[in-house]
């Protein structure tokens, strides 16, 4: 056919690649790649708004009206456990508070989720390389250093240093 037609970019091309990756990851993890999981994963890839489980449920239901919210939650957890998707904050689920009003950042253990304060003076000022999108007015930068705390990093039986 017409050459111009053939090179036209497919909007779903990127998703097809991701889907292939997703299927490989599922196979590698021994996870059955069910229709529900594929549709849910697609909804996640296409979402640009960091959706909540409930929002995903609404979207997936348009494709699979019989799907249940429990399945959405179950699969989200499985995806997270296998690193197929990410969660925006490591501290959802319960409000966590602090009275420390000095500027500071946080160290967060990705395993036990304990948090430690990191005085702002310990981090060089954040500098942007390019303009922000969409007229967003930044008031402050909050840095979270994610990693493992001493306890969680230590092997179960520690032998020396």
Residue 59 CA to residue 49 CA, distance in Å, equals 12
Binding footprint of DNA on the chain (CB under 7 A): 26-27, 30-37, 52-54, 64, 66-71, 73-75, 77-78, 92-95
Options 128, 156, 158, 159; binder of its own copies; rule CB under 8 A:
128
Residue 85: burial class (beta carbons within 10 Å; 0-12, 13-18, 19+) = middle
Structure token digits, residue 38 = 């594929």
Under the binding rule (CB under 8 A), the answer on residue 144 touching its own copies is yes
Of 23 and 120, CB closest to DNA: 23
Under the binding rule (CB under 8 A), the answer on residue 81 touching its own copies is no
Judged by CB under 8 A, the stretch of 3-11, 23-31, 63-71, 80-88 that binds its own copies is 80-88
Shortest distance (Å) from residue 4 CB to its own copies: 30
Of 4 and 49, CB closest to its own copies: 49
C-alpha dist (Å) from residue 128 to 88, 107, 125, 131, 133: 21, 22, 10, 7, 12
Options 5, 130, 157, 159; binder of its own copies; rule CB under 8 A:
130
| In contact, 79 and 26? CB cutoff 8 Å | no
Structure token digits, residue 108 = 């967060």
107 binds, among DNA, its own copies, none (CB under 5 to 8 A by kind): its own copies
DSSP class of residue 106 equals E
């Amino acid at each position: 056919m017409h050459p111009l037609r053939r090179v036209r970019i497919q909007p779903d091309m990127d998703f097809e690649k991701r889907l292939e990756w997703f299927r490989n990851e599922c196979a590698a993890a021994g996870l059955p790649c069910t229709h529900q999981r594929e549709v849910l994963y697609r909804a996640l890839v296409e979402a640009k708004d960091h959706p909540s489980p409930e929002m995903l449920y609404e979207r997936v239901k348009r494709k699979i009206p019989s799907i249940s919210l429990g399945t959405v939650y179950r699969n989200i957890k499985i995806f997270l456990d296998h690193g197929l998707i990410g969660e925006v904050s490591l501290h959802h689920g319960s409000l966590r508070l602090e009275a420390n009003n000095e500027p500071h950042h946080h160290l967060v253990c990705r395993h036990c989720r304990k948090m430690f304060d990191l005085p702002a003076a310990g981090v060089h000022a954040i500098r942007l390389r390019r303009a922000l999108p969409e007229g967003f007015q930044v008031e402050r930068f909050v840095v979270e250093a994610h990693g493992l705390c001493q306890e969680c990093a230590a092997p179960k039986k520690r032998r020396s240093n």
